[in-house]
């Protein structure tokens, strides 16, 4: 095995971001037989079987006490317990909050190389060269690891997801991790209450960032969103962390990945973490005071203006021309 894909699963299903990480792993490994999925915790065997049958890639279900609810400490220890005796050359995972904690821990344990937010790669003279954003997306950095194993978290939307194959054999194995008592206790989780149309179902999204200046700017977003059918309000991590918008509204690496027909980014600088979540948008309008904001590199239409000036003008024009 040359590449291992660490994938999170819910109710037996792996996310699209996990399949995109698998797409990179397959490109690095060369053949489906040279890479494998690793699924951990509750429902791991069912998810592993579905992946193996659907995508023709061997899958390992890692079982053991303390793997559910998941903690980065337990999962990192379990992965190393099972695969550390003969680690593959590459470990790939989607850039989620959990995986962004696990892979650096594994890299430190293995004495390997870690790169986060991988967006592309190409073959170099001495092995693969990985491309990732630097300085909030203003620059692109190329990294060529000199040591093995290599641990990579993959930006959502950066790679084509692994394609299904027909007639694949269900190559599934089970492995049991023996973990010592955990120093980490899972304190529980809660799902935020959502109101209105979900981000995934909306045809139009009007998103706000730190340029909102405070919760008073959110009402402008709601009024602008109301101009479009099947619309919803979204936000950057900065706006959600500030409490101006609920966490369920966040778009980006640690939020939702969306693909609306229209995405209007208001007061959002365009850091790569946010851009990764709205790559799939059909048409992007950016409103920002800073003419050099990275968001304009991803916009079909760019408006250099304060959102608190532009949105009232938009609402007024819409009112005059219903």
Q: What is the pLDDT of residues 156-190, one digit of tens each?
A: 878 999 999 998 888 999 999 989 888 988 888 76
Q: Which residues form the domain of 44?
A: 3-176
What is the number of domains present in the chain? 2
170, 213: one domain:
no
User: Do 163 and 301 belong together in one domain?
Assistant: no
The span from the CA of 313 to the CA of 12, in Å, is: 48
pTM of the model: 0.79
Mean of the per-residue pLDDT values of the chain:
91
Highest mean pLDDT among 5-14, 29-38, 174-183: 29-38
226 and 170 together in one domain:
no
User: What tokens were used for 190?
Assistant: 């809660």
- Considering the domain architecture, whether residues 208 and 172 belong to the same structural domain is answered as no
Confidence of residue 254 (pLDDT cuts 50, 70, 90): confident
pLDDT bucket at 134, cuts 50 / 70 / 90: confident
Last residue of a domain, one of 176, 192, 212: 176
**Residue 218: C-alpha distances to residues 30, 88, 157, 246 (Å):** 48, 48, 27, 11
- Does residue 134 fall inside a structural domain? yes
Q: How far is residue 319's CA from residue 239's CA, in Å, rounded to a whole number? A: 28
Flag whether 65 is in a domain: yes
**Residue 321, pLDDT score:** 59
Q: How many residues are listed for the chain in this entry? A: 322
In a domain, 16, yes or no: yes
Q: Are residues 37 and 161 part of one domain? A: yes
The enclosing domain of 104 has a CATH number of 3.40.50.620
The two structure tokens encoding residue 74: 């337990």
Last residue of a domain, one of 176, 194, 227: 176
In this prediction, residue 143 carries a pLDDT of: 95
Choose between 321 and 247: higher pLDDT: 247
DSSP for 32-85 reads GGGEEEEEESTTHHHHHHHHHHHH---EEEEE-TT-SS--HHHHHHHHHHHHTT
* Nearest-angstrom CA–CA distance, 10 and 105: 23
Residues 47-104 have pLDDT tens digits of: 999 999 999 999 999 999 999 989 999 999 999 999 999 999 999 999 888 999 999 9
**Cα-based torsion angle of the residue sequence 55, 57, 61, 66 in order, rounded to the nearest 10 degrees:** -80
Count CB atoms within 10 A of the CB of residue 170: 14
Phi, psi of 299 (to 5 degrees): -100, 145
């Amino acid at each position: 095995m040359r590449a291992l894909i660490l994938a999170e699963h819910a109710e037996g299903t792996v996310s699209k971001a996990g399949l995109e990480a698998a797409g990179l792993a397959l490109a690095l490994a060369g053949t489906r037989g040279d890479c494998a999925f690793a699924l951990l915790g509750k429902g791991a065997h069912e998810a592993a079987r579905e992946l193996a049958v659907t995508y023709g890639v061997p899958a390992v279900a890692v079982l053991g006490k303390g793997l559910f609810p998941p903690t980065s400490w337990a999962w990192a220890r379990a992965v190393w317990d099972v695969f550390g005796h003969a680690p593959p050359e590459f470990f790939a995972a989607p850039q989620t909050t959990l995986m962004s904690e696990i892979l650096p821990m594994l890299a430190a344990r293995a004495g390997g190389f870690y790169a986060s937010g991988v967006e592309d790669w190409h073959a170099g003279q001495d092995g693969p060269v990985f491309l990732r954003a630097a300085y909030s997306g203003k620059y692109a950095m190329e990294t060529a690891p000199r040591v093995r194993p290599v641990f990579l978290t993959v930006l959502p939307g950066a790679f084509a997801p692994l394609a299904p194959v027909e007639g694949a054999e269900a190559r599934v194995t089970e492995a049991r991790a023996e973990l010592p008592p955990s120093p980490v206790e899972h304190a529980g989780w809660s799902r935020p209450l959502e109101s209105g149309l979900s981000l995934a179902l909306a045809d139009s999204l009007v998103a706000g960032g730190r340029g909102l200046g405070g919760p008073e700017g959110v009402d402008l977003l709601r009024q602008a969103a109301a101009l479009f059918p099947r619309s919803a309000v979204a936000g950057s991590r900065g706006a959600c962390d500030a409490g101006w918008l609920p966490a369920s509204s966040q778009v980006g690496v640690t939020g939702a990945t969306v693909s609306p027909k229209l995405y209007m980014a208001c007061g959002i600088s365009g850091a790569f973490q946010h851009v990764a979540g709205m790559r799939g948008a059909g048409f992007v309008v950016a409103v920002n005071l800073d003419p050099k904001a990275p968001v304009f590199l991803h916009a079909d239409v760019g408006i250099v203006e304060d959102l608190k000036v532009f949105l009232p003008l938009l609402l007024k024009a819409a009112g005059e021309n219903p």
